Amino acid sequence: MTNVPNPSGLPNNARIDSENSLPRDRGLLRRRRRFSVVAGIATAGLLLASCASSTSTASPTPRTGGVASYALGPGDQFSWILPLENEANYENYDSNVSNGLFRPLYYVGGAGTTGINYALSIGTPPIYSNADTSVTINLRHNYTWSDGVPVTTKDIRFFFELEAAGAKNGDYAPYLPGRMPNDIKSISYQGRYQFTLHLNHAYNPVWFTGNQLTWIYPLPVQSWDRTCLNCRSTNAASTPGGATKVLDFLYKESAQLSTYATNPLWKVVDGPWTLTSFDPTTYHAVFRANPRYNGAGKPKLAGYQIYSFTSATAELDALRSGLIDFGYLPTSDLGLTRYFQTHGFNVQPWKVFYDNIAELGYTGPYRHLVDQLYLRQALQHLVNEKLYLSTTLHGFGMLDYGAAPLYPGSTYVSPALHHDPYPYSIAQARSLLVSHGWKISSTMSTCVSPGTGPGHCGPGIPKGAPLRISMMYATPSTSLAAQAQAFASAARAAGITIQLNPQPQDTMYSTAGVCPPGPCNWGIALYGAQEDFGQYVLVPTAGVEFAKGNYWGGGYYNPTEQQLLNDAYDQPGLSKLYQVENYQSRQVAGLWWTVGDYEVAVVRKSLTGWNPLNPYANYMPSRWSFKR
Q: Residue 412, CB half-sphere, CA atoms under 13 Å: how many?
A: 29
- Provide φ and ψ at 321, rounded to 5°: -75, -15
Give the model's pLDDT for residue 16: 28
Class of domain 2-22+76-265: alpha beta
Q: Report pLDDT for 364.
A: 87
Rounded (10°) CA dihedral 527, 422, 207, 545: 30
pLDDT at site 35: 43
In the predicted model, is pLDDT for residue 9 greater than 90? no
Residue 18 has pLDDT above 80, yes or no: no
Residue 11 φ/ψ, nearest 5 degrees: -75, -165
Q: 453-488 burial, b if ≥16 CB within 10 A, otherwise e?
A: eeebbbeebeeebebebbbbbbeebbbbbbbbbbbb
* Alpha helix segments (H runs only) across 418-547: 426-434, 478-494, 505-511, 543-546
Q: Per-residue pLDDT tens for 151-172? A: 999 999 999 999 999 999 888 9
C-alpha torsion angle, residues 67, 72, 77, 78 (rounded to 10) = -50
Mean pLDDT of 570-593: 95
Q: Which fold has domain 354-596?
A: Dipeptide-binding Protein; domain 3 (3.10.105)
The dihedral region occupied by 143, where left means phi > 0, alpha psi between -120 and 50, and beta the remainder, is: beta
What is the structure's pLDDT at 31? 36
The C-alpha torsion from 26 through 28 and 32 to 33, rounded to 10°, is 0
Using DSSP's 3-state secondary structure scheme, residue 73 falls into coil
C-alpha closest to that of 304 among 290, 318, 285, 327 = 285
- SS (HEC) of 281-315: CCCCEEEEECCCCCCCCCCCCCEEEEECCCCHHHH
Q: Distance of CA 282 to CAs 288, 308, 309, 510, Å?
A: 19, 7, 8, 29
pLDDT of residue 375: 98
Q: Under DSSP, is residue 460 helix (H, G, I), strand (E, B) or coil?
A: coil
**How far apart are the C-alpha atoms of 249 and 266, rounded to whole Å?**
13
**pLDDT surpassing 50 at residue 182:** yes
**Residue 57 region by backbone torsions, left for phi larger than 0, else alpha for psi between -120 and 50, else beta:** alpha
User: Is residue 58's pLDDT more than 80?
Assistant: no
The whole-number pLDDT of residue 121 equals: 98
d(C-alpha 456, C-alpha 434), whole Å: 9
Q: Is 450 helix (H, G, I), strand (E, B) or coil?
A: coil
Q: Which residue has the higher pLDDT, 247 or 60?
A: 247
Q: Are 589 and 524 in contact (CB under 8 A)?
A: no
Span 101-129, pLDDT tens digits: 999 999 999 999 999 999 999 999 999 99
The pLDDT value recorded for residue 463 is 97
Rounded CA separation 423/432 (Å): 14
Q: Which residues neighbour 244 within 8 Å (Cβ) at sequence distance 6 or greater?
A: 165, 168, 169
**Among the ranges given (43-57, 198-212, 221-235, 553-567), the one the predictor scored with the smallest mean pLDDT:** 43-57
Crossing angle of helices 426-434/478-494, nearest 10°? 50
pLDDT digits over 336-364, tens only?
Answer: 999 999 999 999 999 999 989 999 999 88
Asked if pLDDT for residue 22 goes beyond 80, the answer is no
Comparing CA positions, the residue from 140, 194, 200 lying closest to residue 1 is 194
Q: Kindly report which listed range (7-16, 60-69, 75-84, 552-561) carries the lowest average pLDDT score.
A: 7-16
Reference 72, options 88, 55, 94; nearest CA is 94
pLDDT at 434 over 90: yes
Q: How many CB atoms neighbour CB 229 within 10 A? A: 11
The CA-CA-CA angle for residues 89, 23, 552, to 5°, reads 70
The whole-number average pLDDT for the span 36-56 is 38
CA distances (Å), 329 to each of 5, 311, 390, in order? 40, 12, 18
Average pLDDT over all residues of the chain: 88
Dihedral sign of CA atoms 483, 485, 491, 496 in order: positive
DSSP state of 46: P
pLDDT of 20 higher than 50: no
Domain boundaries, the chain: 2-22+76-265, 354-596
Higher pLDDT, residue 612 or 541: 612
* Enclosing H/E stretch for 166: helix 153-169
Q: Tell me the C-alpha to C-alpha distance, in Å, between residue 607 and each of 319, 327, 437, 557.
A: 14, 12, 62, 49
Among 11, 1, 3, 7, smallest CA distance to 572 is for 11
In the chain, pLDDT over 70 holds for what percent of residues? 90
Kindly list the distances between the CA atom of residue 374 and the CA atoms of 429, 433, 456, 575, in Å, as whole numbers in the listed order. Answer: 9, 8, 11, 27
Q: For residues 137 and 105, is the Cβ–Cβ distance under 8 A?
A: yes
Average pLDDT over residues 140-156: 98
- The yes-or-no verdict on residue 201 having pLDDT over 90 is yes
How far apart are the C-alpha atoms of 502 and 482, rounded to whole Å? 11
What does the pLDDT look like over 75-100, one tens digit per residue? 899 999 999 998 888 888 899 999 99
CA–CA separation, 392 vs 36, rounded Å? 13
Residue 622's pLDDT band, with cuts at 50, 70 and 90, is very high
pLDDT value at residue 78: 96
User: Averaged over 576-600, what is the pLDDT?
Assistant: 95
How confident is the model over 368-397, as a mean pLDDT? Answer: 96
Q: How much is the pLDDT for 26?
A: 31
Exposure on the CB side of residue 156, measured as CA atoms within 13 A: 26
pLDDT of residue 530: 67
pLDDT at 87: 80
CA distance 344 to 321: 12
Higher pLDDT: 62 or 48? It is: 62
Q: Classify 75 in phi/psi space as left (phi over 0), alpha (psi -120 to 50) or beta.
A: left
pLDDT of res. 59: 54
pLDDT above 80: residue 527: yes
- Top-confidence range, 31-45, 143-157, 330-344, 474-488: 143-157
SS3 label, residue 553: coil
Closest alpha carbon to 151 in 159, 95, 536: 159
DSSP state of 266: G
Sheet holding 33-34, edge to edge: 33-34, 530-532, 354-355
Query: Using CA atoms in the order 223, 304, 614, 335, what is the torsion angle rounded to 10 degrees?
Result: 150
